[in-house]
Amino acid sequence: MTYFCSMIPVLVLKGWVWTFITYMFIHGSFTHVFFNMFGLFIFGLQVERAMGSKEFLLYYLVTGALAGIFSFAVYYLTGNYIVALMGASGALYAVQLAYAVYFPTSIIYIWGIIPLRAPIMVLGFTVLSLFFIITGGGGNVAHLTHLAGFGFGWLYFIVRFSVNPWKRLTMR
């Protein structure tokens, strides 16, 4: 099942285009699915209430699929045809961005002790993903897919809602 649903560039080239959606529902381990779903629970519930269920589902699927398509393009252009992309992180990073846009004054407690405003959390995750891309660290984590999720979430707010996320994120 993992093989059939993961986004593997060489298989996408053979027509397995459904994997641009299904990769978001396959995870590499219990820990992987647990933390993705925990993040979706923490941030997704509030974002769904703010957007409405239908819009939230559209946002989640569109940003996740576009993050997968972007990752496919990068893998293809760099010759990484055999990599297997799986997990909800691209869509989840878009959901975290949406949370920060809707609730810019919200305080998130990292590890239950470090208070951060939601926009600072988004900036922190962005910087960490950029750091791991530049240094090549972070193991088998698709940091570029995370950033693509942020980017497509940002574009979604501009195109669909005519909302400038930067203005919302910098509100006090």
Q: Does residue 106 lie within any of the structural domains?
A: yes
Judge whether 154 lies within some domain. Answer: yes
Residue 60: pLDDT band (50, 70, 90) is very high
Does the residue 72 lie in any domain?
A: yes
- DSSP secondary structure letter of residue 136: T
Q: How confident is the model at residue 140 (pLDDT cuts 50, 70, 90)?
A: confident
Specify whether the CB–CB gap between 21 and 72 falls below 8 A.
Answer: no
119 is written with which tokens?
Answer: 């926009």
- Give residue 111's pLDDT band: very low, low, confident or very high (50, 70, 90): confident
Q: Is 2 within a domain?
A: no
Q: How many helices (H) and strands (E) does the chain have?
A: 10, 2
Task: Give domain status of residue 145, yes or no.
Answer: yes
DSSP string, 7-59: B-HHHHTTT-TTHHHHGGG--SSHHHHHHHHHHIIIIIHHHHHHH-HHHHHHH
Q: What is the dihedral of CA 35, 18, 133, 151, to 10 degrees?
A: -90
Query: 1: pLDDT confidence band, cut at 50, 70 and 90?
Result: low
- Answer whether residue 156 is part of any domain: yes
In a domain, 55, yes or no: yes
- Would you place residue 139 in the very low, low, confident or very high pLDDT band (cuts 50, 70, 90)? confident
User: Does residue 142 contact residue 89 with C-beta atoms inside 8 Å?
Assistant: yes
Domain of 154 in residue numbering reads as 28-78+87-169
Task: Assess contact for 21 and 57: CB atoms under 8 A.
Answer: no
Contacts of 127 (CB under 8 A, 6+ apart): none
Give 28's pLDDT tier (boundaries 50, 70, 90).
confident
How many CA atoms lie less than 13 Å away from 5 in the CB half-sphere? 13
Band (172; pLDDT cuts 50, 70, 90): low
pLDDT at 44 over 80: yes
Residue 57 has pLDDT above 90, yes or no: yes
pLDDT band of residue 159 (cuts 50, 70, 90) is: very high
Kindly report the pTM of this predicted structure.
Answer: 0.92
Identify whether 161 is part of a domain: yes
**Mean pLDDT value of segment 18-36:** 90
Taking the C-alpha atoms of residue 103 and residue 88, their distance in angstroms, rounded to an integer, is 22
Question: How high is the mean pLDDT of the chain?
Answer: 91
- Collect all residues with Cβ–Cβ distance below 8 Å to 21 and sequence separation of at least 6: 61, 64, 65, 68
Model confidence at 41, pLDDT cuts 50, 70, 90, reads very high
Overall domain count for the chain:
1
| Most trustworthy range by pLDDT among 31-35, 68-72, 110-114, 124-128 | 68-72
pLDDT in the model for residue 142: 85
